[in-house]
């Protein structure tokens, strides 16, 4: 519990004015809720001592109503400010997590599964909000409110009677804190189980077509049922520990009532305290019930908050192992070089790229080809610094890429990856990710460059057509062309295409390649492809095999030299001729 108190202390210090208001008004509210009981004592004593008059009644009624009104207003003010803080903390945590997600590179997302990040960003953040809201409310009620009640019991009735009534309380405190540590461990296990379950849900939804295609619905459902059962059992364990508190508190308070009533009756008989004092003491003891029950809730909430904060903090403290930002600014890119460049993925020993030498100048179109698994996509990723550099660092304008501010470097790149990422929005909104202030004319021009303009015009809602989640309402070729249009709209100095024309027909491919050549001479295009027809007009082509450059040159040079490129080109030409004849 000390851990979460320390962490929340930082937040409270940042908003100390708000929590000073909370403290002041809860003190006033606590005093006002105790005051009516003292007024009740005076009221009863006046009746017993035959001193009750109309003026006495009026005075006590006005004092009683005044205490209630002031107490209500005070509690409204402090609870309002308290729960504003709860939602403010959730807002801050979500913003910090999202900012962290957006900054992190690929290694970070290998460390955490998507469902796990979702759980930490939603469930754990909500638990933290409950800790700052309901948890702090319970803490203040348990401490200040309970403190006022005990002071009133000891100061206005009898210190001896108060001590007797509180004899069972140390026993209660021992078990509250003993079981509280169990709640922390059990809740952490339960949240981890929820994270795993959410990850499986996302994977099953994404792969539902594969599951159905292989007839694995029943097997998948059975495996998922086992996961949900495990999650339920872990949450049941948390509930079992939580359920121990209320009965224990009820029993301890019942014992306190017996002790106080017996001792109080003895003190009244000896005229040590009045009847009104005895009645008020029993009411005070009744008021102790809520803070004592809250003490159990407080331990639960604080321990759960501690577990959730550790899970959130783990995400925030986990980096992506990428090299730190440089300080230099990057206005334009004149050339990119890789000199004897080697690369292997983190935590592996196998070289994916082995001794790459590559020089690219402004205005060039570079083709990258090779058999599957040769390192083409990895090469493209490392232009954008997706993974930590193993040893060598690419050079931009003769300087190491890490010398520049990473934000400025990334703005110079527009990438169309193999897996097209489309958002569940309209075509227009997806395009605006490329350039948020683009006009409709610019949008249509980008669509024209990607040979997607006519398709969009035929759609009933045009640019406002919803593409569905991950572009489900579009065909594979349409997804590719929309992604291409978004990249064209960005108009960055470097365009990276990773097999971005694989789902379009040959005619459409040639139209897009022709449009690509119309881009300004100030830009660089790097095209990874399996279809060699996409790079016949490239300024330079490299052939990769097992991470090494085995051939390089222009298309016309490479088809003259025996090797992989020549064989692959003739094979694809024959296949295209067969397709034409068959059609």
| Same structural domain, 128 and 177 | yes
Is the pLDDT at 109 greater than 50, yes or no?
A: yes
Minimum mean pLDDT range among 77-91, 188-202, 312-326, 453-467:
188-202
- The confidence score (pLDDT) of residue 380 equals 87
- The confidence score (pLDDT) of residue 293 equals 67
Contact between 161 and 261 (Cβ < 8 Å): no
Average the pLDDT over 482-488 and give the result.
87
Residue 194 lies in a domain: yes
Task: Tell me the two tokens of residue 110.
Answer: 């290998």
Phi, psi of 435 (to 5 degrees): -160, 105
Radius of gyration over alpha carbons of the chain, in Å?
Answer: 36
Is the pLDDT at 405 greater than 70, yes or no?
A: yes
Residue 358 lies in a domain: no
Average confidence score pLDDT of the chain: 82
| Same structural domain, 246 and 277 | yes
Is the pLDDT at 541 greater than 50, yes or no?
A: yes
pLDDT band at 580 (very low <50, low <70, confident <90, very high): very low
- The confidence score (pLDDT) of residue 48 equals 73
Kindly report the CATH number assigned to the domain that includes residue 377: 3.40.50.300
Average the pLDDT over 154-179 and give the result.
80
Average the pLDDT over 530-555 and give the result.
88
Residue 47 lies in a domain: yes
Is the pLDDT at 146 greater than 50, yes or no?
A: yes
Residue that the structure tokens 């024309």 belong to? 501
Residue 378 lies in a domain: yes
Residue 417 lies in a domain: no
| Same structural domain, 167 and 56 | yes
Residue 468 lies in a domain: yes
Contact between 304 and 128 (Cβ < 8 Å): no
Helix (H) or strand (E) holding 288: helix 275-317
| Same structural domain, 472 and 583 | no
| Same structural domain, 301 and 431 | no
Average the pLDDT over 204-222 and give the result.
77
- The confidence score (pLDDT) of residue 73 equals 92
| Same structural domain, 147 and 161 | yes
- The confidence score (pLDDT) of residue 522 equals 56
Distance (Å, whole) CA 88 – CA 83? 8
- The confidence score (pLDDT) of residue 543 equals 92
| Same structural domain, 470 and 503 | no
Supply the DSSP symbol for 324. P
Task: Look at residues 467, 491, 515 and tell me which one is the last residue of a structural domain.
Answer: 491
pTM greater than 0.75 = no
pLDDT in tens, 430-439: 888 878 888 8
| Same structural domain, 199 and 96 | yes
| Same structural domain, 43 and 100 | yes
What are the beta bridge partners of residue 361?
335
Residue 356 lies in a domain: no
Average the pLDDT over 11-23 and give the result.
85
| Same structural domain, 273 and 338 | no
- The confidence score (pLDDT) of residue 281 equals 80
- C-alpha 481: how far from its chain's center? 31
Task: Look at residues 491, 525, 542 and tell me which one is the last residue of a structural domain.
Answer: 491
Q: Which domain holds residue 292?
A: 2-317
Task: Look at residues 491, 516, 541 and tell me which one is the last residue of a structural domain.
Answer: 491
Total structural domains in the chain?
3
Minimum mean pLDDT range among 154-168, 410-424, 459-473, 565-579:
565-579
Supply the DSSP symbol for 534. G
The DSSP annotation for 168-207 comes to THHHHHHHHHHHHHHHHHHHHHHHHHHHHHHHHHHHHHHT
| Same structural domain, 342 and 312 | no
Residue 360 lies in a domain: no
| Same structural domain, 273 and 131 | yes
Distance (Å, whole) CA 497 – CA 191? 40
494-498: strand order across its sheet? 413-416, 494-498, 524-528, 365-370, 540-545, 548-553
């Amino acid at each position: 519990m000390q851990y979460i108190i320390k962490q929340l202390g930082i937040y409270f210090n940042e908003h100390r004015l708000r929590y000073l208001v909370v403290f002041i008004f809860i003190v006033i509210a606590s005093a006002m809720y105790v005051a009516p009981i003292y007024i009740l004592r005076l009221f009863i004593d006046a009746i017993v001592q035959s001193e009750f008059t109309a003026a006495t009644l009026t005075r006590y009624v006005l004092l009683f109503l005044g205490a209630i009104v002031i107490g209500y207003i005070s509690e409204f003010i402090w609870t309002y400010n308290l729960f504003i803080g709860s939602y403010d903390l959730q807002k801050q945590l979500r913003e910090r997590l999202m900012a962290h997600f957006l900054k992190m590179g690929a290694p970070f997302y290998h460390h955490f599964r998507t469902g796990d990040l979702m759980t930490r960003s939603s469930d754990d953040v909500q638990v933290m909000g409950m800790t700052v809201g309901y948890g702090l409310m319970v803490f203040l009620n348990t401490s200040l409110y309970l403190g006022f009640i005990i002071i009133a019991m000891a100061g206005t009735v009898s210190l001896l009677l108060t001590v007797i009534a509180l004899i069972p309380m140390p026993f209660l405190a021992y078990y509250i804190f003993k079981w509280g540590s169990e709640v922390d461990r059990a809740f952490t296990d339960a949240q981890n189980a929820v994270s795993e379950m959410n990850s499986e849900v996302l994977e099953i939804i994404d792969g539902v077509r594969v599951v159905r295609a292989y007839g694995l619905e029943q097997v998948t459902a059975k495996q998922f049922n086992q996961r949900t059962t495990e999650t339920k059992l872990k949450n049941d364990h948390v509930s079992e520990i939580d359920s121990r508190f209320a009965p224990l508190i009820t029993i301890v308070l019942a014992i306190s009532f017996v002790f106080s009533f017996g001792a109080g009756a003895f003190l009244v008989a000896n005229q040590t305290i009045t009847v009104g004092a005895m009645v008020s003491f029993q009411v005070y003891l009744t008021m102790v019930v809520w803070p004592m029950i809250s003490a159990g809730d407080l331990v639960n909430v604080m321990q759960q908050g501690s577990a959730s904060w550790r899970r959130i903090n783990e995400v925030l403290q986990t980096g992506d192992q990428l090299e730190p930002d440089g300080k230099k600014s990057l206005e334009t890119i004149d050339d990119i070089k890789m000199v004897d460049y080697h690369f292997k993925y983190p935590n592996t020993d196998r070289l994916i790229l082995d001794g790459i030498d590559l020089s690219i100048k402004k205005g060039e179109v570079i083709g990258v080809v090779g058999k599957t698994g040769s390192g083409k996509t990895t090469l493209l990723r490392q232009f954008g610094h997706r993974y930590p550099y193993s040893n060598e660092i690419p050079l931009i304008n003769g300087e190491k890429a890490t010398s520049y501010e990473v934000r400025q470097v990334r703005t110079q790149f527009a990438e169309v990856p193999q897996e097209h990422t489309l958002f569940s929005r309209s075509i227009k909104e997806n395009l605006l990710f490329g350039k948020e202030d683009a006009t409709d004319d610019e949008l249509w021009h980008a669509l024209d460059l990607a040979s997607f303009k006519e398709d969009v015009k035929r759609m009933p809602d045009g640019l406002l057509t919803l593409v569905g989640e991950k572009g489900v309402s579009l065909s594979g070729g349409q997804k590719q062309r929309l992604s291409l249009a978004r990249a064209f709209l960005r108009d960055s100095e470097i365009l990276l295409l990773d097999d971005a024309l694989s789902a379009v027909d040959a005619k459409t491919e040639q139209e897009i390649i022709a449009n690509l050549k119309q881009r300004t001479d100030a830009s660089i295009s790097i095209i990874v492809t399996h279809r060699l027809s996409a790079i016949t007009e490239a300024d330079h082509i490299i052939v990769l095999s097992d991470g090494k450059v085995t051939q390089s040159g222009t298309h016309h040079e490479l088809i003259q030299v025996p090797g992989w490129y020549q064989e692959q080109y003739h094979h694809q030409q024959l296949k295209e001729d067969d397709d034409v004849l068959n059609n």
